[in-house]
A and B are shown apart, each in its own frame.
Chain A
Amino acid sequence: MNQQPESNQTHFGYKTVDKDSKASMVAGVFHSVAAKYDLMNDLLSMGIHRIWKRFTIDCSGVRAGHRVLDLAGGTGDLAAKFSRLVGEKGQVVLADINDSMLKVGRDKLRDKGIVGNVEYVQANAECLPFPDNHFDLITIAFGLRNVTDKDKALASMFRVLKPGGRLLVLEFSKPEIEALSKAYDLYSFHVLPKVGQLVVGDAESYQYLAESIRMHPDQDTLKGMMETVGFEQVTYHNLTGGIVALHRGFKF
């Protein structure tokens, strides 16, 4: 179930679509939710996503002067914090494939007075427009799930990471307990699209969200994928019973 089909087709949630059209369909999803994205995040995860993100930052080892890539960074939650943590001599690149999300992120960070050490780059995770060995840290939070060719994206991240640098992948995963898994399914397939309909007027995007979560590789599969492209000392940490997992890998 976690394998991509061999042909030029891929998953869009449960639908199988042409690889070429997945990117634009994903774009459609995020265009349609961009403006209310943060509100929805809070509602749908009941605010817990903030704790997942804090945990990610605590595991990042980020220091003053570091160069950080927040990939699929969307509305910039992580980037805002990194900007303060790396300080004036450091640099944060907020990269996203979608210019609506980037724009919301840029406006939000500007409103918070965060300027100077943050750059905004529209980029596809599969072919990152940065030199080799460039970043001390790469984070991708709730983004890998949406990428068409995940292996290609992971390899691209490996390439732009400095030796000694680390990658953190925060993503929905497989709940550890069957009962939790069931309750969670109920929530994501029944409640989620309806809230989406009510608040954003778009049930389909949230139906996609629920489906894409289910189709995403489980903890050990993702760990293996990271190792295959070259990451070392790959470990993962389940959060909230495995609803979400944080994977960490190093390049040496």
Chain B
Amino acid sequence: MPAPQLLAGALELALNKVLSLDNASQQRLAPLCGKRMRVKLKELPWPLTFVFSSQIDLLMDDEQPVDCAMELSLTHLQEMQDPANISALIQDKKLSLNGDMHTAQSFAALLKELDIDWEEQLSRYTGDVFAHQSVQLAKSLHQRAKGHLQQLGQIIKDGALHEKQLAAHPLAVEDFSRDVNKLRADTARFEARLSQLEQLKASR
């Protein structure tokens, strides 16, 4: 199940959102442009590969060569964001670094400027990851499904108001509503089943 892709997608979106709010972001990205940085956090089962261009792309790829790779635990991520701390962290064996030091420093500087609360961002994915993974994924998919149903309703409403061609035959709408209701009922059943599973897990 591609739960890691869910994480990568969410993080990538968040990172680029923060970047887009920052007028100097292109300037900050410039020294990293074309570089790849792999970060292995001890709390996460998958390494994250950052690819820099005019934005950041995040890959869950373990295979391809990178300019620099680092391994550390989440608790040291904050310290690492001050480039001056990097050597000390390496000496204390809190950070292992392989590859181009410049890339690591620019990366640290960028993270510092972005000022993201990583522990908060990653908390849903760390800890007892494997036990939680499927439940987490199912939950978020379920949330998405719910969100999309609402969104769909809204789009159809807006569309019907603004675009004549979209106004559907009343019978089709009725039919469709029935399907949506069914989907909603299925979702509710799924929800019940999920909480049952969660209870089961908790009691073990």
Contacts and interface: CB of A to CB of B under 8 A. Distances in A.
Nearest to B177: A194
A51 B6 CA distance: 6
Using C-beta atoms within 8 Å of the partner chain, give the interface range for chain A. 20 to 34
A43 B59 contact: no
Query: For the complex, would chain A's binding face be called helix, strand, loop or mixed by DSSP majority?
Result: helix
Contact of A198 (B2, B9, B59, B156): B156
B145 A54 contact: no
Contacts of B172: 194, 197-198
Using C-beta atoms within 8 Å of the partner chain, give the interface range for chain B. 35 or more
Contact of A57 (B59, B156, B159, B183): B59
Contacts of B8: 54, 58
Query: For the complex, would chain B's binding face be called helix, strand, loop or mixed by DSSP majority?
Result: helix
Contacts, number: 82
Interface stretch (A5-13, A83-91, A228-236): A83-91
Given A54-B2, A64-B34, A197 B60 contact: no
Given A46-B148, A51-B5, A87-B34, A201 B166 contact: yes
Nearest to B186: A183
Given A46-B148, A198-B172, A55 B64 contact: no
| Residue from the set A58, A87, A194, A197 with the largest chain B CB neighbour count within 10 Å | A58
B57 A61 contact: no
A132 B119 CA distance: 49
Contacts of B63: 61
Given A46-B141, A58-B59, 9 more contacts: A39-B155, A43-B148, A51-B2, A61-B61, A61-B63, A198-B176, A199-B155, A199-B166, A239-B2
21 contacts: A39-B155, A50-B9, A51-B5, A51-B6, A52-B2, A58-B4, A58-B8, A58-B61, A81-B57, A84-B53, A85-B51, A88-B34, A113-B54, A190-B179, A191-B183, A194-B175, A197-B172, A198-B166, A199-B155, A201-B165, A201-B166
The list of the 7 closest CB pairs from A to B, nearest first, reads A54-B5, A84-B53, A55-B2, A51-B5, A58-B60, A194-B176, A46-B148
Interface of A: 39, 42-43, 46-48, 50-52, 54-55, 57-58, 61-64, 81, 84-85, 87-88, 113, 183, 190-191, 194-195, 197-199, 201, 239
